[in-house]
Copies of this chain bind each other. A is one copy, B any other.
Amino acid sequence: MTQLLRVQNFGVSRDGFGTGENQSLERPFGNADPGELFAWAGATASWVGRHEPGGSRGLDDYFTRDFAHNIGAEIMGRNKFGPQRGPWQDHEWRGWWGDEPPFHTPVFVMTHHPRPSFTLSDTTFHFVGGDPATVLEQAREAARGKDVRLGGGVSTVRDFLAADLVDTLHVAVSPVEIGAGVRLWESPDELLDRFHLDVVPSPRSGVTHHLFWRK
């Protein structure tokens, strides 16, 4: 069974930005409004952040319900984990997600700076150096035969695309403009030399799902 590296439910603006400028503790997405980028996901029944009944079970829900399906580990860049840069100063900071992170698997945080692993609920965060291929190898082993999710942020997705390690990529393009920040692409066409693409407008949320898989 192939172990895929999958990017899932990755939100970008119509102009291709996944996050804005000036990330901070208060604003994980900088000047960009995550409420706009992820409104489509929040409206679904299977959204990981949903704690009350309700939500749609149409097209958009197929994507949120697939988030953890057959995933055995996640890789994320340091900027998805938190706003600190350079050597770790504050070990009290343990990610944006509180005591019950939504991953439920080992998570590999890419950083040049060592830090001990820790566990919150059923998610263990490991802090690892090395290039994308090396980190992917570690994550695959931890995933015990299941797939690995590449969680972002934008620069991390770009690095893994540049190293040609991504097997499937789901990007939800929202009808908003961000204008400045970290850009995934100028245009989705940039990936067509290496990927098949299905472009699927959601009839409900206004998002356009872009589904890439390796040729």
Contacts and interface: CB of A to CB of B under 8 A. Distances in A.
B65 A69 contact: yes
B69 A211 contact: no
B59 A200 contact: yes
Contacts of A130: none
A198 B65 contact: no
* Chain A interface helix/strand/loop/mixed: mixed
Interface residues of A, number: 25
A98 interface: no
A56 interface: yes
Interface string A188-215: 0000000011111011100001010100
10 interchain residue pairs of minimum CB distance = A58-B198, A57-B213, A58-B211, A62-B62, A59-B198, A198-B203, A59-B200, A57-B168, A69-B69, A198-B204
